[in-house]
Amino acid sequence: MNKNTPKYILEAEKLRLNSGQWQAYESQGHVVLVAGPGSGKTKTLAVKVARMLHEDVSEPRGIACVTFSNECARELERRLADLEVLGRESLFVGTIHTFCLQHIIIPYGYLSDIGISTSITVAKLVDRQNALEEAQSSLGQIENPENNLGNFERIRHAYLGPNHNHSELTAKEVELIQAYEHALRRRGLIDFHDMVVLGLRLIEEQEWVSDLILSRFPILVVDEYQDLGKALHQMVLHLCFKVGVRLFAVGDRDQSIYSFMGAKPDLFQQLSQHDQVKTFQLQLNYRCGNRIVTASKIALAEERDYYTPPNTIDGVIYFTECGSEAEKQAFEICNHVIPKILQTHLTHPENQGYATI
């Protein structure tokens, strides 16, 4: 090692102490990394991306790193900047929506028959509400509380376009979704769900689009896979197992928090069991005490094979009793639990390894 040694190699040496991290770093082919809370998954992911950029792809080809939220994208960007690889034109880091819009829909959508012009405008909240009301009116559906925009968007996440089976939806729901999309197109609009679904349609229906994605991004990295839903899963299955894009996916089905946005954590479990995938697990939890890791496994009622490093403190668990209603729980958390945790954190000599149930 010398002063010219790339930073990712220096950081990779630290991964040798954790067998799961090192296996992921050394892996080839399609890989799924099951990473529990506090397991160092973002560090592992960033070092792996840096290595693949240096060793596995040549300019102008690159890597697409996608995740669900802007916050996760920013954290990954920060880690890659520390490794001195952020800023390369061949590297995309961002949300799945941004990736589909910038690298699939805008450059290729107007050349296909999916109804997208060269000028694309993203619908605002009022635009989506107006489109839903127009769709309901055109179908003679009487508006009621069950047909509001929030409930409608929850069912819409199950819709992947006209060429997919939609067994989770009724015929009436499919009809409403299609009428809503038609109302948006008449206004020259797409919404966020359209970005992923139209991206999926383009790569599935236009072979040349898939070939162009493979040519530019031969490696696809997916972070927080459990939060990304059916459309992304279908995109991964098509690009990686039909077209030939190499996959590196990281997730944990126990940490899915976006079910109201269409997240399907079981899809990550299915991916980890795919016969073309090598699956590794990060088992060490660096964030929590022994008692907390044990309690989390009891709460899941399933074995997850997570454990803490040697000499980790036990941690303390406080139980707080409150009503079953969401409002009462929120009140208790905001007015009593959080202030108590903050005070404990500030005054306790070993201010780590705490959890509240």
Q: Is the backbone of residue 356 left (phi > 0), alpha (psi -120 to 50) or beta?
A: beta
Q: What is the mean pLDDT of the chain?
A: 86
Quick one: pLDDT at residue 333? Answer: 87
Q: Which two three-digit tokens encode residue 72?
A: 């996760």
pLDDT digits (tens, 9 = 90+) for 17-37: 999 999 999 999 999 999 888
pTM for the model stands at 0.84
Quick one: pLDDT at residue 308? Answer: 77
HSE-CB at 21 with a 13 A cutoff on CA atoms is 22
The domain over range 7-106+195-282 is classified in CATH as 3.30.70.1230: no
Closest CA to 271 of 255, 249, 256, 244: 249
Give the chain's length: 357
- Return the SS3 of 269: helix
pLDDT digits (tens, 9 = 90+) for 182-191: 999 988 899 9
pLDDT of 142 > 70? The answer is no
More confident residue, 295 or 248: 248
Exposed, middle or buried, 350 (CB in 10 Å: 0-12/13-18/19+)? Answer: exposed
More confident residue, 297 or 72: 72
Quick one: pLDDT at residue 356? Answer: 43
Q: At a CB cut-off of 8 Å and minimum separation 6, what does 208 contact? A: none
Mean pLDDT of 309-331: 79
pLDDT of 265 > 70? The answer is yes
What gap in Å lies between CA 60 and CA 153, rounded to an integer? 38
Sheet strands (E) in the chain? 31-35, 63-67, 91-95, 121-122, 189-190, 219-222, 246-251, 278-282, 316-318, 354-356
Say how far residue 214 (Cα) sits from the centre of its chain: 21
What gap in Å lies between CA 321 and CA 176, rounded to an integer? 43
pLDDT of 351 > 70? The answer is no
Q: Which two three-digit tokens encode residue 154?
A: 């929850």
More confident residue, 146 or 31: 31
Give, for 339, the enclosing helix (H) or strand (E): helix 338-347
Q: How confident is the model at residue 249 (pLDDT cuts 50, 70, 90)?
A: very high
Exposed, middle or buried, 283 (CB in 10 Å: 0-12/13-18/19+)? Answer: middle
pLDDT digits (tens, 9 = 90+) for 279-291: 999 987 777 777 7
Sheet strands (E) in 127-196? 189-190
Closest CA to 278 of 311, 246, 315: 246
Quick one: pLDDT at residue 205? Answer: 92
Say how far residue 356 (Cα) sits from the centre of its chain: 26
Closest CA to 42 of 24, 16, 29: 24
Query: Distances from the Cα of 344 to the Cαs of 38, 221, 315, 318, 321, in angstroms?
Result: 21, 39, 12, 11, 18
pLDDT of 254 > 80? The answer is no
Give, for 188, the enclosing helix (H) or strand (E): none
Quick one: pLDDT at residue 210? Answer: 96
Quick one: pLDDT at residue 227? Answer: 87
